[in-house]
Amino acid sequence: MAAKLLLSTASLSVARAYLTGATAGTKALFAGGYDDSNESSVVDIYAAGYWSVANLSVARMSMAGASIGTKALFAGGSAASIPLTTVDIYNSTTNSWSTANLSEARGGGAGAVSGENVLFAGGSNSLYYSNVVDIYNSSSNAWSSSTLSIARTGLAGATAGKKALFAGGLSSSGVTDIVDIYESGMWTTAHLSEARTALVGAFVGNKALFAGGSNSSGFSNRVDIYNASTGNWSTATLSRARTVMSATTLGTRVIFAGGDDGASINVVDIYDSVTNSWSVTNLSLARSYLSAASTDTRILFAGGENSSNKSNRVDVFELSETFVWSTENLSTAREELTATATEKEILIAGGDNSNVVDIYSPTSGWSSSQLSVARSNLAGAAVGTTALFAGGTDGVSPSNVVDIYTSGSWSSATLSLARQYLAGAAASTEILFAGGDDGVGVSNVVDIYDVSTSSWTTATLSQARSRLAAVKLDTAIFFAGGLISGNVSNVVDIYETTTSSWTISSLSEGRYDLSGVSVGKKALFAGGYSLTGYSSTVDIYDSESGSWSVATLSVARSRIASATVGNKVFFSGGVSSSGPSNVIDIYDLDTNSWSVANLSVARTNLVGASLGDRALFAGGYDGSSVSSVIDTYDLVIPQTGTGGKLRLEGGVSGK
């Protein structure tokens, strides 16, 4: 499937290179840099198509940047060749700035995130290369420090799962291939396939990518890819060898833009983590030493240098709105099934006491496999290339079986307690299965599987319940609503994977058989069955503001299937007071608006899942029989030639 991206342009308030980009909530920030005569304090801020300007506390260039939640941090850097300790911290929730200090003045370092910690590693000052790592805890606002295995500058940082990786760079012994890996206070090391400095890092899902750079042999086109789920490394190649480029992520794609191979270039390499494929397009203007940041649906490449001239150009890539609906069929008709998506496949499993698993791959189409035990009312969730299908019922009693699928291979495990009507979701490297009905009553048990260690632990919900909804938002998992003994629940249990801690919130209305999904910085819980009947309520939690709001479905109903593609959420089908429904309520994050479409066949007890630019709504019950229908939603784009290039549209964005 072609990349569904459009390109437009905008302008920074001041032309400059050596600036630093970071994201805070839904805002993209471009800070500092060098404007041809002086270091700059300017911060250009982009949000929802509009630009504003702020200032750093100290004008400087070559800072390390990082983003965590609603905060963007700009650390160190230099002014008049003097390294600095200053850290400017922007909070998008309060629209406020604060400052801190690194333990050692330096520029040319790298930033990465591990759980709730932001790490700023390496760099150099006027005397030597640095091995210092300053660690900022976003919950406590406390700072601590550690050290890299080798002092160096020109390294790249990226996050994979709960791990922060710092790769390559220039040390006193020359260009290095060392990768320092931090997780939970512990360090390990690995090696790039090729030593290089001035490379760039980015991440998508549980993968960290380190691309380009240079060494004694010249410019590099190498891309080293680390998978935190498996601990394995692989390699790929850029279309053009280069250094001092910029990179960021949009959805399931990583985009590497610009750079220098002896002159500034306009090449953009696009890695699609779903299809594991690459495509190429171009910036509107060739440049190096540019900066990148992303919002929910847009990525921006800002500033840079072209033939020694500083640029104010901003290239804005965004998801467009063209889409197509089509229909397919499951291999066997069934309801009360489950679905989840790995980084490469959608798996639709079980239902009607079936062991069938229908598997969709964007690269190879449909295939099928089998669960170890046939069952219905099970839960599914995935991390990386691993999917788990847990619990359910075999038609006689609740099951404790967990089927584990990893890249075509199956194994099994057991839950700590057999149950059906449980909920599953995943964040970072952890997959959680919460609540359910054990045949005697509702359960508060939470089984937690860590994909990186293949280990299980348990926790408990604040309230025992079944038929609840689970949603991953940022690094947290929300378990909302549900059925309790003789009543309905409005409780939301929130598990934060970075701290393994729990907090509690509430829905506006207690209900069970509701549907949950996330888009951008929002988690949505829609429909369900309340004490007064079918519900049209949509509770929306915004992690940027930490607040709840309420919207309304076009038709009150429960047992809805949900999925997200790009900036849109789809709540499909379900059952209303009139029976199975064909209604699809569509929420658009960009416009904060709702629209309505229809399934090809009205049905309830269906399931939804999405991968890349495709969402599937499969199976269910149509009021008279079990269905095999799959309604498929695809974002598509007409090609403008060969090679998978993106369409370039005129106009100016961000005015």
pLDDT tens string 233-261: 999 999 999 999 999 998 788 999 999 99
Answer whether residue 178 shows pLDDT above 70: yes
- Binned at pLDDT 50, 70 and 90, residue 321 comes out as low
DSSP-derived letter for residue 642 is S
Nearest to 223 by CA among 251, 250, 255: 255
Residues 105/85, Cβ–Cβ less than 8 Å: yes
Mean pLDDT, range 185-204, rounded to an integer: 96
Supply the pLDDT for residue 642. 27
Amino acid at 59: A
Question: Is residue 148 domain-resident?
Answer: no
Q: Convert the pLDDT of each residue in 39-77 to its tens digit.
A: 999 999 998 788 999 999 999 999 999 999 889 999 999
Give the pLDDT band (50/70/90) at residue 544: confident
Residue 339 included in any domain: yes
| Domain span including residue 426 | 323-635
**CB-CB neighbours of 308 under 10 Å:** 8
Using alpha carbons, list the distances in angstroms from residue 148 to 144, 163, 178, 492.
Answer: 14, 14, 10, 40
pLDDT for 317 equals 86
pLDDT band (50, 70, 90) for residue 654: very low
What type of residue sits at position 148? L
| Best CA proximity match to 109, nearest among 128, 122, 93, 97 | 122
CA-to-CA distance for 133 and 114, rounded, in angstroms? 13
- Mean pLDDT computed over every residue of the chain: 92
Residue 359 lies in a domain: yes
Domain at 455, CATH number = 2.120.10.80
Q: Can you give the pLDDT at residue 319? A: 59
Give tens-digit pLDDT for 575-620.
999 999 999 999 998 788 999 999 999 999 999 999 988 999 999 9
Percent of the chain residues topping a pLDDT of 90: 80
Tens of pLDDT, residues 89-148: 999 988 999 999 999 999 999 999 998 999 999 999 878 999 999 999 998 999 999 999
- Domain final position from 81, 111, 141: 111
In a domain, 162, yes or no: no
Per the domain annotation, does 154 fall within a domain?
no
Q: How many domains does the structure of the chain reveal?
A: 2
Mean predicted confidence (pLDDT) in 348-369: 93
Rounded to an integer, what distance in angstroms lies between the CA atom of residue 213 and that of residue 85? 26
Q: How far apart are CA 131 and CA 112, in angstroms?
A: 15
User: Which pTM was predicted?
Assistant: 0.72
- Residues 502 and 126: their CA atoms lie apart, in Å, by 45
Q: Is the pLDDT of residue 306 over 70?
A: yes
Q: Kindly tell me the burial class for residue 453, based on how many C-beta atoms sit within 10 Å of its own C-beta (0-12, 13-18, 19 or more).
A: exposed
Domain boundary residue, one of 111, 132, 159:
111
**pLDDT score recorded for residue 636:** 57
CB contact at 8 A, 59 and 41: yes
Average pLDDT over residues 378-392: 96
Cβ-based neighbours of 155, under 8 Å, separated by 6 or more: 109, 110, 121, 122, 166, 167, 168, 169, 197, 199
pLDDT at residue 275, rounded to an integer: 80
Q: Tell me the C-alpha distance between 148 and 170, whole Å.
A: 13
Sort residue 139 into left (φ over 0), alpha (ψ -120 to 50) or beta: alpha
> Residues 475-485: pLDDT tens digits?
899 999 999 98
**Those residues with Cβ within 8 angstroms of residue 547's Cβ, 6 or more apart along the chain or in another chain:** 541
